[in-house]
Structures are given as structure tokens and as C-alpha cells.
């Protein structure tokens, strides 16, 4: 008969094995060339927004949090991309991961950002996109296909290069 500690060890082993198998089988989130999974979240104004509602537009999808320094470093460039490309059917759609509406709204207003901000307070969409590291960015074309994916900080030049792929 197994004691409680042995049972927990066996459970953790099987959980790790399952995670490894899912990763190796390709079930580990969204990859370049795949269709972007649809989702619906609420924005900081309380309006529900679905990715599928944006079909026909290019989407720069960015996952972030206000406590994340690389995320904060990207924000001015995200705003610049939004300002430069909004007339060219590009939607900059940011998803805050795990913070309250009040915290996010205050951060966005204090910094004067005007791009769309969605709230993923329970991390459902972050898990769907397998964003274990933030910032994480997905560049989705008008047909809903992920053209480029980047985890970690992106410079403004890197963002422009990835956005350019949406228009080829």
C-alpha cells in the first residue's frame, strides 16, 4: 500500500509525463501557420470583444501585464504601431493577463495608450495560446492565420517587420 507522499509523487510524475506528451504531440498552443483560436473577452470599458469579429482585418495580438518590465518597455512601440497602421486595417489587440480591471484601466490611462485592451483575469486565453512567458505576440492575418509568433520583448523595428509580413 502506498503512503500519501508516494501517491503524490506518482501523481506528479504522471502529470509531468502527460504534459510532455501533449507538448510533443503538437498540442502546446498556437504555432505559426495555424488558425488563431477564437476567444471572447471583455475590454476595459466593459464591452465584449471576440477575435472572430475582427476577421477581415490584420491583428497584432499581444499578451502583457503591468508588472512585467519587458511588457511595459514594449507599450510605447505598440502605441506607435497602432497609430501608424490603424488606417490600414490593423487592429492592435492587447490582452492583460491576470490583473483587475481597475489596475489595468489606471495603467493605460496614466500612459495615454489608445489601443484596445482586453482583460484575461483568469488566464483562460493566455492558456489557450500557451503564453507561459510574457510579453507574447501573435500576428494574425485577415483570414485568421498566425503569420508570426514571438515570445519575449520586441523592439519597434521587430514589430514593424512582423506587421509587414501581414501585408505580403
69's enclosing H/E stretch is helix 69-85
* pLDDT higher than 70, residue 117: yes
pLDDT at 31: 87
Closest of 44, 29, 70, 59 to residue 152, by C-alpha: 70
pLDDT at 3: 58
* pLDDT higher than 70, residue 8: no
pLDDT, average across residues 90-118: 97
* Strand locations in 51-145 (E): 58-64, 90-97, 116-120, 136-140
pLDDT band at 116 (very low <50, low <70, confident <90, very high): very high
- Where residue 89 falls (left for φ over 0; alpha for ψ -120 to 50; beta otherwise) is left
- Partners of residue 150 on adjacent β-strands: 137
* Correct CATH for 31-166 of 3.40.50.300, 1.10.645.10, 3.40.30.10, 3.40.50.2300: 3.40.30.10
* pLDDT higher than 80, residue 80: yes
Q: Average pLDDT of the chain?
A: 87
Backbone angles phi, psi at 76, to 5 degrees: -60, -35
pLDDT at 45: 94
Domain locations in the chain?
1-29, 31-166
Closest of 65, 124, 114 to residue 91, by C-alpha: 114
* pLDDT higher than 80, residue 161: yes
pLDDT, average across residues 120-145: 95
Interval 24-65: pLDDT, tens:
333 456 889 999 999 999 999 999 999 999 999 999 999 999
pLDDT at 139: 98
Amino acid at each position: 500500500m502506498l503512503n500519501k507522499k508516494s501517491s503524490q509523487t506518482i501523481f506528479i510524475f504522471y502529470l509531468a509525463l502527460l504534459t510532455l506528451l501533449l507538448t510533443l504531440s503538437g498540442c502546446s498552443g498556437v504555432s505559426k501557420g495555424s488558425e488563431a483560436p477564437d476567444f471572447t473577452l471583455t475590454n476595459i470599458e466593459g464591452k465584449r470583444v471576440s477575435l472572430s469579429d475582427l476577421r477581415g482585418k490584420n491583428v497584432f495580438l499581444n499578451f502583457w501585464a503591468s508588472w512585467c518590465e519587458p511588457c511595459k518597455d514594449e507599450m510605447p512601440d505598440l502605441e506607435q504601431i497602432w497609430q501608424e497602421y490603424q488606417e490600414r486595417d490593423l487592429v492592435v489587440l492587447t490582452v492583460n493577463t491576470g490583473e483587475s480591471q481597475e489596475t489595468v484601466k489606471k495603467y493605460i490611462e496614466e500612459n495615454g495608450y489608445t489601443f484596445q485592451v482586453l482583460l484575461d483575469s483568469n488566464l483562460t486565453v493566455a492558456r489557450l495560446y500557451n503564453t507561459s512567458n510574457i510579453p507574447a505576440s501573435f500576428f494574425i492575418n485577415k483570414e485568421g492565420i498566425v503569420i508570426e509568433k514571438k515570445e519575449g520583448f520586441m523592439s519597434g523595428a521587430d514589430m514593424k517587420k512582423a506587421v509587414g509580413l501581414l501585408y505580403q
